[in-house]
Structure 1
Amino acid sequence: MTEAIHHFIEQYGLLAIFLGCVAEGESAAILGGFFSHQQVFVLWHAFVAAGLGAFVGDTFFFILGRSFADHRYVVRLRKRPGFRRAFRLLNTHPNIFVLSNRYIYGMRLVGGIAAGLSNIPAPLFVILNAISSAIWAVLFGTIGYVFGLGAEHFIGPALMRHERLLVGLGIGLTVAILAWFVARHIANREHARES
């Protein structure tokens, strides 16, 4: 079983990191760094997959906001908690908002839509989004790499590579669950503030 998981991760792991980072993908970027430490991927490949995924995701939501403002999906996203705050911040500090939006958990999706609905020029958004995506990918990929170092030190080098992969999946699942609880707490607080 662990051999099959290992083979699957080697074959499709970078694609999974890319797809995971298209949406709210901190856990995918962290797993990319962790598996790079386990020598499943080359570290810079994980950085590129995470950075491209983050860039494509935010650009996609920007295009949705810019070109499909009246579509029911965009209208529904505009009603999400935090959208008004994101739009207000974007109009007062557009450069800082685009550079920092992805670091505020739960704001990335509505932030991309808000950027598309704002009057920020598309070329400026693309440049700032590319810079932010690259820094974000290196930061969270490095966190995963450091988790790998810590796990190896804590668990010991006696474990075979396959068991380390299962530990990595456990870390990724834990990070995803914690992120979900944090996002839910923030959304509830924003919803209470806007009510």
Structure 2
Amino acid sequence: MTQVIHHLIERYGLIAVFLGCVAEGESAAILGGFFAHQHVFVIWQALLAAFLGAFVGDTFFFFLGHSFAEHRWVRRLRRRPGFNHAYRLVRKHPNIFVLSNRYIYGMRLVGGVASGLSGIPVWRFVLLNALSSLVWALLFGTLGYVFGLGAEQIIGRALLHHQRLLIALGIGLAVVIVAALVAHYIAKRERVKETD
């Protein structure tokens, strides 16, 4: 079973890192770095997949807001908790918002749509988003790589390769659960703020 998992990660792992980073992807970028440390991926490939996923995801949601403001998906995203707050921020500080939106968990989707609706020129958004996505991919991919070094020291070199992969999957699952709990808490807090 572990050989099958190992084979799937080797074959489709970079695609999973890319897709994970399209949306709310810190855990995907961290796992990409971790697997690069385990020599499943080459580090530059993991970082590139994380960068492209982050850039494509944010740009997609920007163009949704920019070009399809009245589409039902965009209207639905505009009703999500935090949209009004994101829209106010992007109107007030557009450059800072675009550079920092990727780091605010739970706001990326609505932040991208808010950016598209705010009137930021496309060229400016693309440049700022590329810079933000690059820094983000380097930060979280390197964190996963360094975490791989630390995990290897803690767990010890005696573990077999497939056991390390299972531990990495467990760590990834833990990161996803914690991120979901944090997002739920932030969304709940935003709903309370919007009703006040």
Letter aligned with residue 50 of structure 2: A
Aligned match of 1:122:
122
Q: Once the two structures are superposed, what CA deviation does each residue of 1:65-97 show, in whole Å capped at 9, x if it has no partner?
A: 011111111111101111111001101110000
Offset of residue 151 of structure 1: 1.1
Matched, 1:53 2:53: yes
Letter aligned with residue 59 of structure 2: T
Matched, 1:107 2:138: no
Percent identity, please.
71
Would you say how many aligned residue pairs link Structure 1 and Structure 2?
195
CA distance in 2, matches of 1:88, 1:188: 19
* Matches for 1:34-53 after TM superposition, within 5 Å: 34-53=34-53
TM-score, normalised on structure 1?
0.99
CA distance in 2, matches of 1:64, 1:93: 21
Aligned match of 1:133:
133
CA distance in 2, matches of 1:173, 1:143: 16
Aligned match of 1:3:
3
Aligned match of 2:68:
68
TM-score, normalised on structure 2?
0.98
CA distance in 2, matches of 1:9, 1:64: 32
Letter aligned with residue 39 of structure 1: H
CA distance in 2, matches of 1:127, 1:181: 32
Offset of residue 150 of structure 1: 1.4
CA distance in 1, matches of 2:52, 2:58: 10
TM superposition outliers: structure 1 runs of 4+ over 3 Å: none
Aligned match of 1:21:
21
Letter aligned with residue 92 of structure 1: K
Offset of residue 146 of structure 1: 1.6
SS at match of 2:69: coil
Offset of residue 117 of structure 1: 0.4
> Which 5+ residue runs of structure 1 have no aligned equivalent?
none
Letter aligned with residue 164 of structure 1: R
CA distance in 2, matches of 1:192, 1:72: 25
- RMSD, matched Cα: 0.6
Offset of residue 61 of structure 1: 0.2
> Which 5+ residue runs of structure 2 have no aligned equivalent?
none
Q: Once the two structures are superposed, what CA deviation does each residue of 1:166-186 show, in whole Å capped at 9, x if it has no partner?
A: 111111100000000000000
Letter aligned with residue 2 of structure 1: T
Offset of residue 132 of structure 1: 0.4
Aligned match of 1:194:
194
